[in-house]
Structure 1
């Protein structure tokens, strides 16, 4: 290394001052500025692209919310019609004359009222097996062709709401996004299918405002709304660029759109009580986003290059003047070398060359003057590092306000209590208590009894769901440990893991036990079940995953979260310990010091 530097210095000594200055300018100024300019251009372009991607993600989230607002009314109407006694009478009455049918239709105007009241609703029709009824575009007798429709079969096979882009035979077979739902009449042992068409104009008006190509796709790949009106009604497989999107999960992807690098944002939309949902897709070409940034970058790059050219010209002029003065001084030195001691240098100025000239004159006058060799070696190197942080979409799907959910549950509980449904009232009260506790829990520690209260509520709710034959539980707590403070939500995820995974395939006799004992200033908690158990290989995988910060398997997230919180709070020796055998249940334990730990 030292030898190479020395060799480079020797070569530099053989270069004239003028060329050294130009070379130094190129090496110290031109190249670094050029590198920084390119780096800033690329970073600026990427930043613009990231901001555009985030904006598109926000737009997709907004469309998702607006779409949910539009289809919320059809869902509410279907819920009302599901339990509408008047609809039950109209559909199931065996009419003896046309007059009776017309009178029943005249008295039942709910379908027309809903269409007039709510702009989101385009049409409502009901398919019935009652052959005494007349087709009036609202009530339709079931035909063989209707029975063969896939949407009808899906509705009849599975209760709940289905969404499909289907033809409306009452509207010249035009296609609409429709809510399809089977309505059963237990008293008459009959059923029918309700179809509510969503107003296409509402969806088109919402999508048309988007700056990029955006579409809403149903479960079968049909585009029910799109920025480009020509795409509406087409299947996504008909579009070359979109055929690869059918099986894509929600997220942001890069691909080719019309041969241009593009990005696509996909968001899933699953309405409440629905078996299938929709996809919202937004596409934009990268060039359309960064073109403005490219123009600004080129302008900035041009200004930088112009500045460098001007600086180069100035350096060249200054180096020429400097070289000329040095050449004059060199000629005077040559004269002295030839023996002419009467030489007087006329190089003026107070810079280094002027000082050398003065010293030269003093040396000539005194004859003994010595000329010191002047070396200049000064290098500067500028480094610029830019660190860019990636932006993550936490749009979360619209969530129900927890306070609203709690208040709604409390209202349900009171109504159940008033009607004498004590068991339902009790379960709703426990669910409400869990929600309230979760609202109140922050990062502070809570008493063990508070954590176990949440656990008890959770188990009672699961017991209600599964039944007494399938799930029982036992909670055994040392009285001296009731007030010991622990991190919140440490035991409940273990209970949930035991119920969901351990007792998943247990038809009856499922048992979950929670034990908390105090011994030697340590609180020992054990959660056990008599479920299916875990194999040794799977235990090893889970133990490895407990320390893996990047683990993505969903069923391990709760255990890993609890384990890592315990380790970070109390130290490495206080994490989870799993013991299990296939068919013999699972036991999870942990110990924490009473009063905290240096890590706490």
Structure 2
């Protein structure tokens, strides 16, 4: 099929098709491959750089928060903190003096620039709030970070993004429970990390980098507008958001991006942090895309020049072929006095020489044909004479109808009404059969032929035959092939009920099931074995050019397959001694529908 279609193309189109197959498609494949490789190399390089950057951010952030952890460890084991926090003061002066003597918080802020602030929450009604020692208010006590700290074991810490009451700003904060065993009390130490230093670490990265807690809150980022938001707020991919580590592809702010997640697990922490780095794929492959554009321009220019050259060559060849085609057309119109002259020794020149030789041969054949025409005319006249004699020998069907009508009238006049009715039915049946031709007939008319046939057979069997015809009213005007049901009924009567002494029944039904018309012919006759049914199937599926099978089962089966396709042939069900059912289906609403 492909080569046939290729041969139908004009030469110019073939040359262009050859160019596309031989040059354009390989160049396109190579271009796509190189583009994909450049893109992959750019992404891999960006991924390696991101991994290195994230490891650097992780190391520097770890150093930063380790300072807060070391400070919390010293504070938790400082006896002076226990004394100041648990003493019951008599006067305000005693409280102020105790705060003045306890300078550990100030010393930590002064010595460690990584720490922004320290504060200690403890329930001691004799103390005053001075932003360092704070009585926890109900809102603080109910907060998630405070309750987690009070419920955590001694020696463990947790990291939260919480607000400092002093300046109302959010900080990455170490939260640690401090238990005083001797006094049977406990408090919560909060150390704020220097956010300026943390943001400075992230701001050195070229790709978007964020520090996120276990609740998906962005605590620090090199994009200030991200800080304080959650991953849901920036429309981060829900599936990637749940990941603890790894490299992923996701949509961030509506752009296809690569995401690298690195876990940061601080020392003795009950929760972990994550460093998330995001870079847009379009940004990374921008340079590769620019190179691809330049390559595309160069390749396109080369292909354009090649197309122009192919067009010129094909035009020269097409002109020579067109001259040959025009001469062939003139010969086809009967002009045989032509001599074609085309220069060149290529295939086209060879064709021109063969063309001239062919024209010379045709001239000789024309003369020979003229000599044989007289003999052919004589033979044709003899054949027509034979046909006329054969037609004259045929019996005129009207003679047979007139004879049947005369018999019917004679029987009627002598009181033989039953014989008169049967002769009338026989005449009607024969007329219907001769009138149907090879076209279409309505289902109601086909049923009328069946009814005539069954009435005649009922007369013949003298009460041994009963029948029923049922047709869906919607199908009465539906067109079907002619003589498609009557042969099945005839088969049921002759082969099914021939030896049945009494109680013979034939049922014909036509109805609609789903999108199909189902026509069913049933008899309660002798039935058949499974082996016999297989023999019938084998017989009716053999295509034989035999006029005797024209109205038999084979004819009906093959006509159904030819008209409606596979699956619409005869279906036979039978059991010995019970009966036989022959059915077939017709598509409802097809080309035969009127």
Could you tell me the TM-score, scaled by structure 2's length?
A: 0.49
> Higher helix fraction: Structure 1 or Structure 2?
2
Report the TM-score, using the length of structure 1 for normalisation: 0.49
